[in-house]
């Protein structure tokens, strides 16, 4: 089974409080990649950065004092171009950069498939925002849960806080035996 993990493609990271031109630019590529996943029969999992109204009182809020992705707000929602694909899929709300729950879900699915005599999780492809924070955190977390699974990042469907930090994160993941594709 192959998975597409769509990390934090939320309004606040595209057009909101922490939006960037680079994040806006990847939206069409991300939408095409999700459609391709559906055509190929890949399972799709969305994640959402999720904070509470007391965000500024948290460690992250003290280090990045820009309220964003507050639960239930427009900024917290998946971007309109991808939101329709969440129907029938419950996004994983993560309250930090990485989600142990995401890793546990994929590990459990891998074990279930193998118990049924199937190959298990063969490939997990990641797209989304921000390459240098939440994408890299979740990629390495899943890599630790499933060290023998092929982990891929589609760089054309990711954007970092800056273009330089995006490139640095891709290089760091490559050093950790993550496959970096571009389109």
Task: Parse the chain into domains and list their residue ranges.
Answer: 2-181
Mean pLDDT of 88-110: 97
Closest CA to 57 of 67, 71, 72, 47: 67
Residue 151, pLDDT score: 98
Closest CA to 50 of 103, 96, 105, 87: 96
- pLDDT of 183 strictly over 90: no
Q: Which CATH architecture has domain 2-181?
A: 3-Layer(aba) Sandwich (3.40)
Is residue 39 within 8 Å of 160, Cβ to Cβ? no
Strand-pair partners of 7: 47, 128
Average predicted confidence (pLDDT) for the chain: 97
Q: Residue 178 to residues 41, 103, 125, 138, 161: CA-CA distances in angstroms?
A: 22, 16, 10, 12, 20
Distance of CA 128 to the CA centre of its chain: 5
Residue 89, pLDDT score: 95
Q: The whole model's pTM is what?
A: 0.97
Maximum distance among all Cα pairs of the chain, rounded to whole angstroms: 49
How far is residue 9's CA from residue 157's CA, in Å, rounded to a whole number?
Answer: 10
- pLDDT of 132 strictly over 90: yes
Is residue 79 within 8 Å of 34, Cβ to Cβ? no
How far is residue 64's CA from residue 42's CA, in Å, rounded to a whole number?
Answer: 35
Residues 3-22: tens digit of each pLDDT: 999 999 999 999 999 999 99
State both tokens at 35. Answer: 């459609």
**What is the CB neighbour count within 10 angstroms for residue 118?**
12
Residues 150-164: tens digit of each pLDDT: 999 999 999 999 999
State both tokens at 62. Answer: 């003290």
- pLDDT of 62 strictly over 90: yes
Closest CA to 156 of 4, 15, 30: 30
- pLDDT of 131 strictly over 90: yes
Mean pLDDT of 30-40: 98
Is residue 138 within 8 Å of 98, Cβ to Cβ? yes
- pLDDT of 50 strictly over 90: yes
């Amino acid at each position: 089974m192959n998975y597409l993990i769509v990390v934090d493609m939320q309004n606040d990271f595209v057009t909101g409080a922490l939006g960037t031109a680079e994040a806006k630019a990847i939206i069409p590529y991300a939408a095409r990649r999700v459609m391709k996943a559906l055509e190929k029969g890949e399972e799709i999992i969305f994640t959402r950065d999720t904070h509470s109204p007391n965000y500024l009182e948290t460690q992250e809020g003290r280090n990045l004092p820009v309220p964003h992705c507050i639960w239930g707000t427009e900024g917290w929602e998946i971007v309109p171009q991808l939101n329709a694909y969440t129907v029938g899929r419950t996004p994983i709300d993560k309250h930090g950069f990485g989600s142990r729950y995401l890793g546990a879900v994929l590990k459990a699915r891998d074990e279930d498939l193998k118990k049924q005599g199937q190959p298990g999780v063969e490939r997990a492809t990641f797209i989304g925002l921000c390459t240098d924070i939440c994408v890299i955190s979740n990629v390495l977390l899943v890599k630790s849960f499933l060290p023998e699974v092929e982990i891929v990042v589609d760089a054309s469907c990711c954007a970092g806080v800056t273009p330089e930090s995006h490139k640095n994160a891709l290089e760091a993941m490559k050093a950790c035996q993550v496959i970096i594709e571009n389109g």
